[in-house]
Amino acid sequence: MAQILDGKALAAEIREGLGREASALAQNGITPGLAVVLVGQNPASQVYVRMKRKACAKAGIAAIDHDLPAETSEDTLLQLIDQLNADPKIHGILVQLPLPKQIDEARVIERIDPAKDVDGFHPVNVGLLATGKPCFVSCTPAGIMELIDLAGIDIVGKRAVVLGRSNIVGKPVAALLLARHATVTICHSRTEDLAGEIARADIVVAAIGQPEFVKGSWIKPGATVIDVGINRLDDGRLVGDVEFDAAAERADAITPVPGGVGPMTIAMLLKNTVEAAKRTTVR
Ligand code: GUN
């Protein structure tokens, strides 16, 4: 039976440490401030934003809420970003995605000051990551690396297969694994012989948003399996992108859903925000 990588416990530990750092900063007159911008009423986004705001409060980070109506114009949102960029009390800016269709997401992301881009979505941060330079790394990929390190496995020279090529997860996690000297393959919906690719992987990162798509029988014995999926089934059950029970029989380490990658994402957001606040002290 595989080691279960407990993201919930690791995230709690990280958040405690960040809480101590935040209070030390506050004693020096700098309370880390995160602007949390939600446009419209996407139910999933509302849940995520509520969790992020709650986690900030617990860690002593000031979450400054901006809830805008669904019909907000792109210009209005860009003006808000300009204002947040200029505000010294705001160290991080988070614009929850997706945005309503009248707003061009890329234009909004590009307007955020890269030094306040705690989501790591700005092309400057993406470019720094791709070239192996220090930057804000998007939160889910950063959390995945922490979980892999928790498993205590050596990444150097290992075969890693990333399933999914999104800008938020697949591409950045591939860049991070490559930076740690893994041999990285990115697979997606058009990949031929997906089962064969996964069967060769020492590390599998599944991020395609399809319930139990990765079969346990595909997993190489001894592999590390990171499941980024959160899928709600018709019967109400929450499952990942991997067949958990069958995969856990073959893997050495595996993340559960829920309680694996999810909690780590929020912990990394707080970490990036504290880091952004710290940087203002050394300017
Ligand atoms: N939508 C889905 N995931 C994310 C995320 O990590 N950050 C933001 N801002 N929006 C998201």
pLDDT digits (tens, 9 = 90+) for 94-134: 999 999 999 999 999 999 999 999 999 999 999 999 999 99
- Entry pTM: 0.96
- Per residue in 202-218, pLDDT (tens digit) is 999 999 999 999 999 99
- How far separated are the first and last CA of the chain, in Å rounded? 50
Ligand 1 centroid to 117 CA: how many Å? 12
Please indicate whether residue 94, judged by its CB atom, sits closer than 6 Å to ligand 1: yes
CA 55 remoteness from chain centre: 15
Catalytic residue among 116, 117, 119, 202: 119
For residue 282, the model assigns a pLDDT of: 55
Contact in structure between 229 and 255 (CB atoms under 8 Å) = no
Does the C-beta of 119 come closer than 6 Å to ligand 1? yes
Which atom of ligand 1 has the smallest separation from the CA of 269? Answer: 6
Q: Is residue 52 among the annotated active site residues?
A: yes
CA-closest residue to ligand 1 atom 1: 97
Q: Which residues of the chain have pLDDT under 70?
A: 282-283
